[in-house]
Amino acid sequence: MTKEEYSKLFTADDAVGWLAIDKQLDSIYPEQEPRHYAPSLHFMVGGEDPIDGTSIYDSEKQVKHLHLISYGMSQLYYDEEQAGKEFSKWGFEFTFRLKPYADDEGDPGWAIRMMNNLARYVYKSERWFEPYHFVPANGPIRLDTATDIVGLAFVPDPELGVISTPHGEVTFLQMVGLTKKEVERLLAKPQTSEVERLIDEMREYNPLLITDLDRAD
């Protein structure tokens, strides 16, 4: 898409990338209105959280779980300079599937904070995440929690996948909780192929790669 084509289709008031994300989510959750959480002050005007908002859907697939999706790692708003690019800004949005945890009161704000911590790393380092990257969390991913989940792997979201937008490609990059033993395995052999092998093993009993804070080695 050229700049001229882009400017004819959209106006400066259009949240072009945001609408592309919504369209993909509507195909999965056609009759559900998500709960949406946005920071009080946007990052572009001095806020601390790079993610402009996070939507949370309730899914009954495989097992009852929450499906979180970020808005802010891709180009969300009208930008002629982004028209026709290969990737939309960082080229991905975070997703996270979480089995409800007994100690959470309402939606898991800690998971939104975790997404923003990862987003800050990307913005500050200018190093982005790709499928089958992994990160140790140096402790429980939910702070002050007796959970064995102490790391994250990144995989294409099994339902949302990859979309083409007027700003370029966006991968929905799902975070998957890893146990201490799994993190140690990947630290010993940190190649992408080993991460993919571990994820394939997980898919055999957990096809949607839902994170369960009660899971143990």
pLDDT in tens, 184-193: 999 999 999 9
pLDDT for residue 40 is more than 80? no
Structure tokens at 194: 């080993």
Are the C-beta atoms of 80 and 6 separated by less than 8 Å? Answer: yes
For residue 215, tell me if it sits in a domain. Answer: no
Domain presence at residue 181:
yes
| 173 occurs within a structural domain | yes
**Assigned domain for 79 exists:** yes
pLDDT tens-digit series, residues 158-205:
999 999 999 999 999 999 999 999 999 999 999 999 999 999 999 999
CA angle 191, 129, 95 (to 5 degrees): 115
More confident residue, 45 or 37: 37
Q: Where are the alpha helices (DSSP H) in the chain?
A: 3-9, 16-28, 109-125, 180-188, 192-203
**16 falls within a domain:** yes
Domain that holds residue 109: 3-204
Within a domain: 22: yes
For residue range 65-116, what is the model confidence (pLDDT) as tens digits?
A: 999 999 999 999 999 999 989 999 999 999 999 999 989 989 999 999 999 9
Our measurement of the distance from residue 123's CA atom to the centroid of its chain's CA atoms, rounded to an integer in Å, reads: 15
What's the whole-number average pLDDT of the chain? 94
Instruction: Decide if 184 is inside a domain.
Output: yes
> Which band of pLDDT confidence, cut at 50, 70 and 90, is reported for residue 45?
low
The proportion of the chain whose per-residue pLDDT surpasses 90, expressed as a percent, equals 88
The pLDDT of residue 44 is 62
For the chain, what is the domain count? 1
For residue 41, the model assigns a pLDDT of 64
Under 8 Å between Cβ of 116 and 180: no
- Whether residue 212 is contained in a domain is answered as no
